Amino acid sequence: MTRLHLHRAADYPRMPWKNGAGSTLEIARDRGEGLDGFGWRLSIADIGESGGFSSFSGYQRVITVLEGEGMRLRVDDVPSRPLLPLDPFAFAGDSRVECQLLGGAIRDFNLIYAPRRYAARLQWLGLERPQRLFACAPTLLLFAAGEALRVRVAGADGATLGRYDCLQIEHDQDLLELELEADSPGACCLIELSPGA
């Protein structure tokens, strides 16, 4: 059985950061409330100035700049490369993280997950032409960074995603076939989540 749930960007709730220094739009999560209890969580954060990140002990984080010039992180006193748009970067949630903006404010995309509960794979896909994909993870998340992303799922109805919409796919097949197509060149993020890592 395949189940689709389309999360619309206009409906994302805004939540404060754990450290109170900013706010996040929550896209989706597996369970829990507030800032604790989830096994995985997707969100969009607006960073208006350089400063520290919240700590998420027991979690892994993958962050990607969506808008703005970019940033550089210092993770446990080790500087990252310059993080430019659509260039993902992973780090442990309990690390000490300082953010230095490369220009003005940015908006970023965040996957936070508990590696003791989930295995995760994240990749950004360019959509200069239609693509056909196959995935076996039981939970798939497709996040559209551009406009009008059409997704067709074998054995289920398809969906059209607007900018920053996210399609959550739950299935029990050995291998699920997806077709992706956009009206104009853009990018989307495919996240595959499997429980019991």
45 and 101 belong to one structural domain: yes
Q: Rounded CA gap, 67 and 49, in Å? A: 14
Question: For the chain, what is the domain count?
Answer: 2
Which residue range is the domain that position 55 belongs to?
12-113
Structural contact between residues 188 and 149, judged by C-beta atoms closer than 8 angstroms: yes
17 and 98 belong to one structural domain: yes
146 and 80 belong to one structural domain: no
> Does 1 reside within a domain?
no
> Does 2 reside within a domain?
no
Strand partners, 6: 167
Q: How far apart are the first and last CA of the chain?
A: 23
pLDDT at residue number 15: 84
> What's the CA angle centered on 26, arms 11 and 157, to 5 degrees?
60
Q: Of 197, 189, 177, 166, give the one whose Cα is nearest residue 4.
A: 166
95 and 162 belong to one structural domain: no
pLDDT at residue number 179: 93
pLDDT at residue number 155: 74
Last residue of a domain, one of 113, 141, 171: 113
Cβ atoms within 10 Å of 196's Cβ, excluding its own:
7
28 and 89 belong to one structural domain: yes
pLDDT at residue number 42: 96
134 and 103 belong to one structural domain: no
21 and 100 belong to one structural domain: yes
Q: Rounded CA gap, 95 and 80, in Å? A: 13
Q: Of 6, 15, 55, give the one whose Cα is nearest residue 34.
A: 15
Q: Of 118, 120, 121, 186, give the one whose Cα is nearest residue 151.
A: 186
> Does 155 reside within a domain?
yes
37 and 75 belong to one structural domain: yes
128 and 73 belong to one structural domain: no
Q: Rounded CA gap, 39 and 144, in Å? A: 22
123 and 180 belong to one structural domain: yes
pLDDT at residue number 81: 97
> Does 73 reside within a domain?
yes
Q: Of 188, 111, 118, give the one whose Cα is nearest residue 148.
A: 188
Last residue of a domain, one of 113, 132, 166: 113
66 and 29 belong to one structural domain: yes
pLDDT at residue number 168: 96
pTM of the prediction?
Answer: 0.92
Q: Rounded CA gap, 83 and 86, in Å? A: 8
pLDDT at residue number 192: 97
The token duo for 69 is 């010039």
pLDDT at residue number 173: 85
pLDDT at residue number 21: 63
Q: From first to last of the 197 residues of the chain, give the pLDDT tens digit.
A: 889 999 999 999 988 777 666 778 999 999 876 666 789 999 999 988 888 888 889 999 999 999 999 999 999 999 999 999 999 999 999 999 999 999 999 999 999 999 999 999 999 998 888 889 999 999 999 999 988 899 999 877 789 999 999 999 999 888 999 999 988 777 899 999 999 85
What's the CATH code of the domain at 122?
Answer: 2.60.120.10
